[in-house]
Structures are given as structure tokens and as C-alpha cells.
Amino acid sequence: MMRFSNSNRHCWLPGIFSISIFIAGLRAESPLQAVPSIETILRVPASHFQRQSPEQLSVNLRRGIGPDDAATIALYSNPALRAIRDRRGLAAAQLIQAGILPNPVVSYARDFVTGGSTAGTRDGYTFSAGWELSALIPFLPKQTAARKNFQSVDLDVAWQEWQIAVNARTAVYRVLGLDAQVGRAREATSGLEHSAEAMRKAVDAHEKTVLDLSAVESASQDSRATMLGLEQEFEKQRLGLNKILGAEPEIKIELRAGMTLPTHLEPPAERELISDLESRRLDLLGLQRGYESQDATVRAAILAQFPKMSVAFTKATDTTNVQTTGFNIAVDVPIFDRNQGVIATERATRQRLRDEHNQRAFEARSDIATAIADIRSLDRQIAAAEEALPLLEKLVSSAQTAVEQRNADVLSYYTARSNLLQKRIQMIKLQEQLLEAHTALEIASGRYLPMNRALQPK
């Protein structure tokens, strides 16, 4: 059992909170493999991958996992996310660095009398303590830039987590769909193998012809080839599910019993998903923070045009013991370098971030429209396939009766059975494509969209 609690909330972005996770029995232990810490901070809102109350989320591995369970597990144990989260440490270090002022400069020099007319002379020295005042001018914009950059990285990490969570759910859909396809293929292959065995006995008894036996054996071989291909694809998808969950390949992850593929999904209205898109999608929010960070960086670069200036206080004595106290001011004369190259670079970077934000927002709106169109099209295709299945089943039944009454050849009967198998597999593939289109809609909209209750945790 895994339990989740939101004991520590982040105040800078509503809905994003810390989730403490304990996982037992998912990962095979190895003395050479570092065991991850029990607790980790998730940056993605729990509402993006679970419909349950955020106060407490639970995953029971003993009863098998569902799509939302897989999303939750992947957020904790996916290896790629650990490397992605390390980016926050770099951004935090940059934030610390932005708040540090330059050190003062202290110098001391001593002049030793070594020869010449040395009567009445003594060793001299020079002492100075100075500080660069110009560091204060861009100090606040640099801090703002670092703070906004940290928020941008934080949101980008949340976006990566969200994508991993949705892809983990998609992996469950694919395994579920392929499991159903393999089941259909195995059922058909088993039936054809029994029919082939019965046909061989009938041929030996001179009740059936060799042509009839060839027809059933050909159909059996075709069905077996289809089954083996589906089994290969199923194993590939099972390993893909293990990979995204961070589980070793040899671990068998059981899916929760009773899950079924939906035959119809009703997506939300396109206008509803687009209306607040830029304030909901984490990557767009991250790009907004990145733009604000870069805007502050441009301001800092402009302020850095101010000539570098340092002030130092000096105290010295010469070899005749004449003591002096004074100050020193050093100012760069901005004749050639007026920071124009840095300013142009930062402005170009700011424009690139603006254009990238606009491009991604445009693509998101287009992807939402495409996903909704795909869902509606697949709904119609599945409905048509559902209407065709009873007709094919009736055709197979009629062909079987005709063969038994010797009114039709065996080849037509097994051709009808093969068509029925292909139509059933096609139906499952369409249902799987429907789920994938639904997943594409979730990613494009940045919103969790509950669907068929059979796929939700109970």
C-alpha cells in the first residue's frame, strides 16, 4: 500500500504541493544500485493525474494497478525524473549567486630602503581598502531574473512530471488493449487448432477431403501468426510500462482486474479547454516566468552600461616618513565597450522566449482541436465496428451451418472466421486509439480529463 499526503504546500503556485511517497515491493533491490529516498517532492498538481481527494491518495499494489496508479508510481520512481529534478538545484544555486555582492578589495604594499642616500629615511608602505560601487546598480534586476528563472525551472519540472504521468497512463492503456487483442487471437487460434485436429481425423476416416484440411490448416497458421505478432507487441509494451514506472524488466506488474476499454468518449468543448489554456498549462506558465526572467536580465544588462566605478580609501607613508591619507576613485571610460553586445544578445533571447511561448500556445490550440476531432472520428468508427460485429458473427454462424449441411465449402467458412477475428482485433485497436487520442487531449490542454469509470481507481 502506498499513501500520499499533502503536508507541505508551496505558496508560489496554487495546487502544487509536496507529496510524501512510500513504495514497497515495486523495485528489485541490488547492492550496486542506490536506493532512492522514501520521500520526494513532486512539482505536478495531484489533480492532474488523480480524481481522488488530494488529502490522501492511495495505491494498493496487491490488487494490481490502474492508469492513475501508474501515473502516481511513475512520478516517484521514474529514473528520468530524478535527473530532471536536479535542474532545480542548479536554478537554486543561481538564485543564491544573484544575491551575493562582490567582495571588497584590500591591498597593502611596503617599500624597503635598500641603498643610496639613506640618512634619515625609513621603510614606506601603502594601504588601501576599496569596493566596486557599480555592482549595486544591476543588483535588484539580477535577483529578479534569478527568482523568475527558478520559478520557470520549477514549472518546467512540473510539466515534465505531468508528461511522464500521462505517458504512464498511456502505457497501461496499451498493455490493456494488447492483452485484449492477444486474448482474442489465442481464443481464435485455439479453436482453429481443435478444428484442424478434428479435420485430420475426418480426412483419415475419408469423411472430409484434403482440400478441406488445407483450408482449416491455412486459417490456423494465419491465426497463429497473428497471435505471435500480438504477443511480441504485448511483451514490448509490458517492458515499456516497467521502464516508465522505474521497475526492473523481470518484475511482472499486474493490472487491476475488471478494467475495460471505453467504446465512446465525450470530450469537453474546445472553447472550454482553450479559454484558460495559458494560465493552466505548466510549460506555458514556465515560459512566461522565463520571459519575465529574461526581461529582468535585459534591464540588468542596460544598467550595466553604467561605467564601472570603484572607491578606495588609502593610507601611505614614504621613505622620508611623510604620512598621507586619501581616497582613490576608478571609473571605466565607456568609449568602445558600452555593453551593447550583451544587451543585443539578451534582447534577442527575450524575443526568442516570447516567440517560443506564442508558438507553443498556438500548437497547443491546434493539438486540442486535432485531438477532439480524432476522438469524435474514433467514436464513429467504433460505433460502425460495433454494428458490423453482429453481422459478421451471424455470417460465421450461417457459414458453419451451411458447411455442416454440405451447402458451402469449408474455405468460405474459415475465411468468415478470419474476417471476424480481424474485425474484433480492429475494434480493440480503435478503442486503444481512442484512449491515446484522449491522452493527447490531456497533454495539449494540460488538464486531467476523467473518463470511463472502469479505468479509475476504486
Domain assignment present for 317 = no
pLDDT for residue 45 is more than 70? no
Domain assignment present for 333 = no
250 vs 201: CA distance, rounded Å: 42
Query: For the chain, how many structural domains are there in total?
Result: 1
346 vs 352: CA distance, rounded Å: 10
More reliable by pLDDT, 34 or 324: 324
More reliable by pLDDT, 56 or 124: 124
Compute and round to an integer the Cα radius of gyration of the chain.
36
- pLDDT score of 50: 52
- pLDDT score of 38: 30
Domain assignment present for 99 = no
Domain assignment present for 312 = no
Q: What is the pTM of this model?
A: 0.76
Query: Residue 410's domain spans which residues?
Result: 2-77+137-304+339-449
Domain assignment present for 174 = yes
Report, as an integer, the average pLDDT of 76-94. Answer: 86
pLDDT for residue 214 is more than 90? no
- pLDDT score of 78: 87
- pLDDT score of 335: 84
Domain assignment present for 457 = no
In the numeric block, the cell 467504433 is attached to 382
- pLDDT score of 8: 34
- Give me the chain's average pLDDT, please: 82
Q: How far is CA 432 from the centre of its chain?
A: 20
The C-alpha cell that represents 128 in the structure block: 588601501
- pLDDT score of 60: 65
Burial 211-225 (b: 16+ CB within 10 A, else e): ebbebbbbbbebbbe
CATH number for 288: 1.20.1600.10
Domain assignment present for 425 = yes
Domain assignment present for 113 = no
- The residues near 215 (Cβ < 8 Å, ≥ 6 apart) are 409, 410, 411, 414
Tell me the pLDDT tens digit for each residue of 435-452.
999 999 999 998 888 775
Q: 84 pLDDT band (50/70/90 cuts)?
A: confident
Tell me the pLDDT tens digit for each residue of 125-154.
999 999 988 888 899 999 999 999 999 999
Please check whether residue 143 is in contact with residue 98, taking contact to mean a CB–CB distance below 8 angstroms: yes
pLDDT for residue 222 is more than 60? yes
